[in-house]
Structure 1
Amino acid sequence: MRRTVGLGLRREFLADVLEQAPSVGFWELAPENWFPRGSDAYRTLDQVREQAPLTSHGLSLSIGSPDPLDVAFVRKVKAFLDRFEIDVYSEHLSYCSAAGQLYDLLPIPFTSEAVDHVVERVRQVQDIIERPLVLENVSYYASFANELSELEFINTVLRQADCKLLLDVNNVFVNSVNHGYDPYQFIAGLPSERIVYGHIAGHSEEYDDLFVDTHGADVKPEVWQLLKFAYEQHGVFATVLERDFNIPPLPQLVQEMGRIETIQQGVVAGSERQLQTDTV
C-alpha cells in the first residue's frame, strides 16, 4: 500500500495490527487517547510505527470554544508529536467545550466574529506545536443565523490563520444533503494548496434529507465518486479510511483501503494521458 493511503488506528484491532503487520501507508491516531495510558502504550506505538509512520487527528482541542485555550493540553500534544516524530496535527473546525466538556463536536457559527476568534486561537496553537494546524471540515446538523456560507467560513479561516485543511469528503457529502448544496461545487471552491490530506468514511441515511456521519458503515458509492472528483480537482492527496463502529476484520478494512489506492492510480493515469494528449 502506498504511503498516500492510511487507516485510523483503533484499539479494537490493535493486537491484529501487531500480529498481522497489514499493508498500510500510515496510521492516524488521536494523541489524547494515548496520553493517560503510560509507558507500555507508548512502547506499543513504537512497535506500530515500525510498520508505518504515524499521523495525528485530535478530538478535544475545541478550537472554536468560548473558553480560554487549554495551553497545557496543547503542550502535551506538542510533546507527543515530538516523541513519535509526527509532522501532522489535525483537528476539527468545531468546538467541544463551553464552561466544561460537551462530549460532541459542535459547529461554529459562520460569522466574521467567529472567524476572528478561531484565527487567534489557531495562531496560538501553531506557535506552541511549531507546526501548521490542519483543520477538518466537519459535519453539522443545525444551521445558525450565519453571515457566511460554510465554504466562505472555511476559506477565510484558512487564509487568515495561514493554516491547512483536512478535507473530509464524507462530511461534504453529508452536509450537502442536510443543507441543500452542491458537493462538487463546494469541493471545487476549496484551495488546493491548503489540503494536506483527506478523510473518507461511511454514514447512515436516517431520512431523505438527514444523513449522519457515523464512521460505522462502508463508504457509499456517491462518496467514492466525490473522492475521485476531489483528486481530479486538487491532485491526489493522502487519504485516511475512518471506521469507529461496526468495525469489520482488519483484512476487510485493508481491502476497502485498496479502493482508495485504485481511485488514486486511476486519476494519476488519467492526468498522464491528458498531458500526453496536450503535448502532441
Structure 2
Amino acid sequence: MSRPADTSVGLGLRRALLGALQSAAPEDFDFLECAPENWIGVGGRLGDSLDALTARHPLVCHGLSLSLGGFAPLDETFLVRVRRFLDRHRVALYSEHLSYCSDDGHLYDLLPIPFTEEAVHHVAARIRQTQDIVGRRIAVENVSYYATFPVDRDQQALDEATFINAVLAEADCDLLLDVNNVYVNAINHRYDPHAFLAAMPAQRVAYFHVAGHFDEADDLKVDTHGAAVKDAVWDLLGEAYRRFGPRPTLLERDFNIPPYAELLDELATVRRVMHEHASTEAWHARA
C-alpha cells in the first residue's frame, strides 16, 4: 500500500461518473476517493467497476458515518469491515470528519464538536481506537459549521485552530485540510483564514480537499460541494501550497455534477495553482 504522490490530483468516485472514470485517459487524474460506506458489500456490475478502477488508480477513503465526536460507542463491527475494504483495495489513507453525525440514529448531517479540552480528550480517544481497529493512522478533516456550542462556566472555550491542533497531537493522527471549509468558516465566524492556515501543523497535513460553496450572503457561505470552486478558494489553496508544499489534492463535487470535461478543467486549475505556488524546494522534495 502506498499513498498518492504529493503532487497528485484526484476526483471523488461517484456512481454518476463511473462511465467517464472508466474511459478516462491515464493523465486525466492521479487518484480516486470514495466513502467506504457507499461501496462496502457492493457486488455485481458496480463492484466489478470498482475493482477495475482501483486496479488502475490509487484509492483513498473518506468516511461519512463514524461520528468521532459522538457519545455512542464506536461501531467496531463496521470498522472491521472498513479495514477489510481498505486492505482489499490497498488503501493507505483513510480519513473521517472531525464532527459527529449520530445519536440514537444517524442525523444525516455533520455537526460541530464543542471546542473544549474535555472534547479534545473524548475525540482523541475515539480516534486512537479507530486507528487500532483499522490498522492505520487516519486523517481527520476540519469541517464547516454554522453554529458553536455554548461552553459551561467551568470549561474554557478554545478557538478552532487550537482545538484541531490539540486533537491531532493527543490522537497522533493526520489532518485532511479542507481549504474550502477554512474559507467558509472564516467568513461565517469572522476569523482570518490566513492565520488559521498558519496555525496548522505542516507535518500532519496528509492531503487537501477543494470544493465549491454557495454564497447565501456576503457574510454567509454554505459548503455544498455542488458548484465550481470560487476564486477566493483557489487563492487560499495557493497559500496552502506555499505554506505546506504540494500535497495530494482532491476536487470534491457531490451533486450538480457537470460534464466530465468541466471537472478536468478544474483539475487543470489545481495542477496550475500547485505548480505556481508550491516552492521549488518543496516541489522537488515531494515530487
Q: Which bin holds the TM-score, normalised by the shorter protein? A: over 0.9
2:229 corresponds in structure 1 to 219
Measure, in 2, the Cα distance between the counterparts of 1:218 and 1:39: 33
SS at match of 2:43: helix
Report sequence identity in percent.
53
Question: Alignment partner for residue 272 of structure 1, among 275, 280, 286?
Answer: 280
Measure, in 2, the Cα distance between the counterparts of 1:47 and 1:157: 37
What is the Cα deviation at residue 267 of structure 1? Answer: 2.2
SS at match of 1:198: strand
Check conservation: 1:7, 1:28, Cα contact below 8 A: yes
User: Structure 2 vs 1, CA of residues 274 and 141 (structure 1 numbering), >3 Å: closer, same or farther?
Assistant: closer
Measure, in 1, the Cα distance between the counterparts of 2:71 and 2:38: 24
What is the Cα deviation at residue 265 of structure 1? Answer: 1.1
1:41 corresponds in structure 2 to 46
Question: Alignment partner for residue 20 of structure 2, among 8, 12, 16?
Answer: 16
What's the TM-score, normalizing by structure 2?
Answer: 0.91
SS at match of 2:176: strand
Check conservation: 1:2, 1:261, Cα contact below 8 A: no
Structure 2 residues without counterparts, runs of 5 or longer: 152-156
Check if 1:180 corresponds to 2:195. Answer: no
SS at match of 2:23: helix
Cα deviations by residue, 1:109-161 (Å, 9 ceiling, x for unpaired): 11111111101111100001111110000000001225111111100000000
Check conservation: 1:3, 1:26, Cα contact below 8 A: no
What is the Cα deviation at residue 39 of structure 1? Answer: 4.9
2:172 corresponds in structure 1 to 162
Structure 1 residues without counterparts, runs of 5 or longer: 276-280
Measure, in 2, the Cα distance between the counterparts of 1:161 and 1:49: 29
1:255 corresponds in structure 2 to 265
Cα deviations by residue, 1:231-269 (Å, 9 ceiling, x for unpaired): 11111111100001111111210111111111111124x
Measure, in 2, the Cα distance between the counterparts of 1:189 and 1:255: 31
User: Structure 2 vs 1, CA of residues 97 and 274 (structure 1 numbering), >3 Å: closer, same or farther?
Assistant: closer
Check conservation: 2:227, 2:253, Cα contact below 8 A: yes
Check conservation: 1:3, 1:24, Cα contact below 8 A: no
What is the Cα deviation at residue 54 of structure 1? Answer: 0.8
Check if 1:245 corresponds to 2:249. Answer: no
Question: Alignment partner for residue 195 of structure 1, among 205, 208, 218?
Answer: 205
Measure, in 1, the Cα distance between the counterparts of 2:237 and 2:223: 16
Question: Alignment partner for residue 84 of structure 1, among 86, 89, 92?
Answer: 89
Deviant stretches of 4+, over 6 Å: none
Counterpart residue type for residue 272 of structure 1: T
Cα deviations by residue, 1:199-257 (Å, 9 ceiling, x for unpaired): 00000011221100000111000000000001111111111000011111112101111
Check conservation: 2:246, 2:282, Cα contact below 8 A: no
2:154 corresponds in structure 1 to none
2:219 corresponds in structure 1 to 209
User: Structure 2 vs 1, CA of residues 52 and 208 (structure 1 numbering), >3 Å: closer, same or farther?
Assistant: same
1:6 corresponds in structure 2 to 10
SS at match of 1:206: strand
Check conservation: 1:2, 1:25, Cα contact below 8 A: no
User: Structure 2 vs 1, CA of residues 3 and 273 (structure 1 numbering), >3 Å: closer, same or farther?
Assistant: closer
Check conservation: 2:6, 2:247, Cα contact below 8 A: no
Cα deviations by residue, 1:44-75 (Å, 9 ceiling, x for unpaired): 11211233211111101111111111101111
| 1:98-177 alignment runs, 5 A limit | 98-146=103-151, 147-177=157-187
SS at match of 1:20: coil
SS at match of 1:236: coil
User: Structure 2 vs 1, CA of residues 125 and 2 (structure 1 numbering), >3 Å: closer, same or farther?
Assistant: closer
What is the Cα deviation at residue 4 of structure 1? Answer: 1.3
1:50 corresponds in structure 2 to 55
Measure, in 1, the Cα distance between the counterparts of 2:62 and 2:34: 6
Check conservation: 1:5, 1:26, Cα contact below 8 A: yes
CA RMSD of aligned residues (A): 1.8
Check conservation: 1:158, 1:165, Cα contact below 8 A: yes
